[in-house]
A and B are shown apart, each in its own frame.
Chain A
Amino acid sequence: EIVLTQSPATLSLSPGERATLSCRASQSVTKYLAWYQLKAGQAPRLLIYDAFNRATGIPARFSGSGSGTDFTLAISSLEPEDSAVYYCQQRINWPYTFGQGTKLEIK
């Protein structure tokens, strides 16, 4: 099973700042990594798939990068509604696995 390790566990930033979230895989997932946003009481929302492709309707301030074992989700110019938990997920091997999440707090 591929283990995904996300860092930091918690990130506290102010509106307008840039957030950088990391996801590291225990073995190469090539480009097959996705990022999701999860808010309390809502279904997960796909942000990025296959490392850098923005999902439909996702603002350009969300961007993904990386390949192999190291990936980054960047959120430029944070807005209050970006407060959420962010998860990465790999789909190169079964079982699909998620990271443990990064909680982003907007001050």
Chain B
Amino acid sequence: EVQLVESGGGLVQPGGSLRLSCVASGFTFSSYWMSWVRQAPRRGLEWVASIKHDGSEIQYGDSVKHRFTIYRDSAQNSLYLQMDSLRVEDTAIYYCAKVVIPFDTGAFDIWGQGTMVTVSS
């Protein structure tokens, strides 16, 4: 079964840091672009960051650029999101997502269950 399982969410103060993890199973992790997408409370979906299948290309949304770092470890079939200088507006459910077509950027066909990040004093 193709599966993504996130962890690492929690409550953090503004200015703090958090690292999210996503463990993949059931597919060849090293063949797919991977992404993080978030949904703030009572808001829509927002793309956060994406990383190429081999890690050679990374893209960030403007709202998280220079504060968040996406990276992957194919040996561990894992995707990560290091979040620094967190702001109240980063409060959201964070989803790890896989693209539908190998070696291509694309729509997200498999999503994790999400992990909640709350930034509050």
Given contacts A55-B100, A94-B59, A95-B59, contact A44 B45 (CB under 8 A): yes
Among A46, A91, A96, A98, contact of B44 (Cβ-Cβ < 8 Å): A98
User: Is B80 located at the chain interface by the 8 A CB criterion?
Assistant: no
Minimal beta-carbon separation of B57 from chain A (angstroms): 10
User: Is B1 located at the chain interface by the 8 A CB criterion?
Assistant: no
Interface centre among A43, A49, A55, A56 (most CB of B within 10 A): A43
Within 8 A of B (CB), among A12-71: 34, 36, 38, 43-46, 49-50, 55-56
The digit string for B78-121, where 1 denotes a CB below 8 A from any CB of A, is 00000000000000000100001000011111011110000000
Residues from chain A with Cβ under 8 Å of B107 in the complex: 34, 46, 49-50, 55, 89, 91
Among A46, A91, A97, A98, contact of B109 (Cβ-Cβ < 8 Å): A46
Given contacts A34-B107, A49-B106, contact A89 B45 (CB under 8 A): yes
User: Is B71 located at the chain interface by the 8 A CB criterion?
Assistant: no
Minimal beta-carbon separation of A37 from chain B (angstroms): 11
Among A45, A46, A91, A97, contact of B105 (Cβ-Cβ < 8 Å): A91
CA distance A46 to B39 in the complex (A): 16
Given contacts A43-B112, A91-B105, contact A96 B95 (CB under 8 A): no
CA distance A61 to B17 in the complex (A): 44
Instruction: Give the size of the chain A interface in residues (CB under 8 angstroms).
Output: 24
Q: Name A101's closest neighbour in chain B (CB-CB).
A: B44
Given contacts A34-B107, A95-B47, A101-B44, contact A43 B114 (CB under 8 A): yes
CA distance A94 to B33 in the complex (A): 14
The digit string for A1-14, where 1 denotes a CB below 8 A from any CB of B, is 10000000000000
CA distance A34 to B37 in the complex (A): 15
Minimal beta-carbon separation of A92 from chain B (angstroms): 9
Q: Name B96's closest neighbour in chain A (CB-CB).
A: A43
B108–A98 contact, CB under 8 A? no
27 A-B pairs (CB sep. < 8 Å)? A36-B108, A38-B39, A43-B95, A43-B113, A43-B114, A44-B37, A45-B111, A46-B108, A49-B100, A49-B106, A49-B109, A55-B107, A56-B109, A87-B44, A87-B45, A91-B105, A91-B106, A91-B107, A94-B59, A95-B59, A96-B47, A96-B50, A97-B47, A98-B44, A98-B47, A100-B44, A101-B45
